[in-house]
Structure 1
Amino acid sequence: MIKFFRHIRQRLIKENRFSKYLLYAIGEIVLVVIGILIALQINNWNEERKEKIAEENFFENVLIDLEKDQTKLEYYQKFYTKRIAYLDTLLTYVRNPNIKMGIEKFGMYVEPLFYASDPTNNNTTFESAKTSGAFNTFKDKELLKQLSQYYADFPLIEKSFSSVQRFIENQFEPIMYTLPESYMTQETGNLVISEGDVQDFYNKIATIKDFRNITPDYDGLLRTPIMENYLIGDMGRSFGALAVIKARYGMLRNLKLKLE
């Protein structure tokens, strides 16, 4: 093609047809410009297509992360709902001296209180895209803004869970250490809510026989003001954690609806 145009130019010059040569030159320039514009447009189209695919892949992977978050949040909600129920039961016995729990029931209701939950944040996809600068080319800025807020709020759940953990370590465990743990049996962990299987632990404890003939004064422990104060404090923190969980779950559901 280039050779063809060169031949035409040379013929016009030899024939001394300057005006036609000038028109031809302008036409050739126009064709070159049009070719460049078409090439740029194709390149832009390809870039936009790549950016669109990258954005779609990002949101698909974020949706997978949110599914994992949802599973965790449902577990946390179950954990703290059950915890509040156990605290409620124990507080009922504390405030009613006319009823007795029995040592087995006491063990089953206090044992779950030793356990706490660790929050998990599945934010790998979001942080990776943020670090790489991919957000600059994404079109859905409003959805990105909502995702940013969702992940920025994670410290709220960390703070709430940490509050419960510290309260267990600083208040509950010292109270329970005053009581011999000879009440523990294979059934003691039946009400425990845990992501891992803890039954082997209780089976092991049950195989170690206690020959001391000590009867734990669980009833006396239940009647102490310090036990009542602990149960109320734990319940307040558990309700706080549950509120944070529900709020985050609502944000997650809203995001999922938009992504789906």
Structure 2
Amino acid sequence: MKNLMIQFFRKIRRKLLTESKFTKYLIYALGEIVLVVIGILIALQINNWNELEKIKLREISQLKSIQEDIMLDTTDVKFNLTYHKLFLKSEQKLLKYLLSPNQVPEEEIKYENAQGISLLLVLHESAFNNLRNNNLNIMTSQKLKKQISNHYDSYAKSLLIFENNYDQFDNYLLKRPYFLKYFHYKDKMASKESTEHNNSDYYNPEIEMTKLILADTLGLKSDEEFKIVLAECISNSKIKIQFYENFIVKNKELYKAIELELLKLEN
């Protein structure tokens, strides 16, 4: 088709030249140049459109990946949050008992929950890091770009540091010396099966932890230092719970913002 067009234009040029119609030939030549320029511009526009379409598809893919990470983070955060609430409830019961004149608690206290365990939080940031490494500027919405950056560089990072990096906020480590001093295991062998990692209920927040029983009531109730430590742990638990709950809200907000942006990009 291209060769036919070239031959067609050559025939017209020859005809005009042989007929000595120079003015018409000049007009024709200018018109041919204009057509070539227009053709180049159209080709460039099509190429530019194709590149923009590729960028848009890459943006859509990466935004969907971030949504998947948000869903995973929400599940993991809710898991830790459930445990923190479980531990806080028993911590509060234990402190109430220690501050009372009663030698026996008025309500049942699960001492193993009051002791708690050290929790580790791992957030999924691979999609965000991939987006950042591949240039955040591919994003159409500057507002969403800022929201995503703030979410991972501020909220997520703060939660990770607070949960994982400071021993002074690890309630288990703070309380452990006192539990070693005043408590002992009820039946270590009987509870072994329920704490095995291959148990189907291993990730169940209601799993029954190794039972602890109070061995030195008088010593525990008279230990003012432990009461202070326990009160500090309760404050830590409340702060962590607030952090987790706020993060879940931020997760929902970011997920919804991405969903709205995807609707614009895909329509």
Match of 2:79 among 72, 75, 80: 75
- In the superposition, the TM-score normalised over structure 2's length comes to 0.79
Aligned match of 1:244? 243
Residue 12 (1) aligns with residue 13 (2): no
State, as a whole percentage, how many aligned pairs show the same letter: 26
Aligned match of 2:263? none
Match of 1:173 among 165, 171, 176: 176
**How far off its partner does 1:180 sit?**
6.1
Q: Aligned partners of 1:199, 1:246: CA distance in 2, in Å?
A: 22
46-55 or 61-70: bigger deviation: 46-55
Q: Aligned partners of 1:166, 1:252: CA distance in 2, in Å?
A: 24
**How far off its partner does 1:137 sit?**
2.3
**AA matched with 1:80:** H
Name the CA shift for 1:127/1:42 in 2 (closer, same or farther; >3 Å): same
The correspondence of residues 140-219 of structure 1 with structure 2, limited to 5 A, is 140-153=141-154, 154-162=156-164, 163=166, 167-168=170-171, 170-179=173-182, 181-185=184-188, 186=190, 195=203, 202=210, 216-219=215-218
Contact 1:119 1:161 survives alignment (8 Å): yes
Secondary structure of 1:181's counterpart equals strand
Aligned match of 1:57? 61
Contact 1:61 1:125 survives alignment (8 Å): yes
Secondary structure of 1:118's counterpart equals coil
Aligned match of 1:2? 6
Aligned match of 1:29? 33
Q: Aligned partners of 1:80, 1:111: CA distance in 2, in Å?
A: 10
Name the CA shift for 1:112/1:180 in 2 (closer, same or farther; >3 Å): closer
Contact 2:83 2:205 survives alignment (8 Å): no
**How far off its partner does 1:165 sit?**
6.6
Aligned match of 2:123? 121
**How far off its partner does 1:76 sit?**
2.4
Contact 2:69 2:127 survives alignment (8 Å): yes
Name the CA shift for 1:73/1:86 in 2 (closer, same or farther; >3 Å): same
Q: Aligned partners of 1:3, 1:83: CA distance in 2, in Å?
A: 86
Secondary structure of 1:119's counterpart equals coil
Q: Aligned partners of 1:197, 1:41: CA distance in 2, in Å?
A: 58
50-59 or 123-132: bigger deviation: 50-59
Query: How many residues are aligned here?
Result: 244
**AA matched with 1:121:** L
Contact 1:179 1:216 survives alignment (8 Å): yes
Aligned match of 2:231? 232
Kindly indicate whether structure 1 or structure 2 has the higher relative contact order, using CA contacts under 8 Å at least 6 residues apart. 1
Secondary structure of 1:177's counterpart equals helix
Contact 2:82 2:205 survives alignment (8 Å): no
Contact 1:63 1:256 survives alignment (8 Å): yes
Secondary structure of 2:225's counterpart equals helix
**How far off its partner does 1:194 sit?**
7.1
165-174 or 37-46: bigger deviation: 165-174
Secondary structure of 2:29's counterpart equals helix
Q: Aligned partners of 2:97, 2:191: CA distance in 1, in Å?
A: 20
Name the CA shift for 1:115/1:92 in 2 (closer, same or farther; >3 Å): same
Contact 2:95 2:227 survives alignment (8 Å): yes
Aligned match of 2:140? 139
- In the superposition, the TM-score normalised over structure 1's length comes to 0.81
Q: Aligned partners of 2:25, 2:13: CA distance in 1, in Å?
A: 7
Name the CA shift for 1:89/1:199 in 2 (closer, same or farther; >3 Å): closer
Q: Aligned partners of 2:30, 2:181: CA distance in 1, in Å?
A: 99
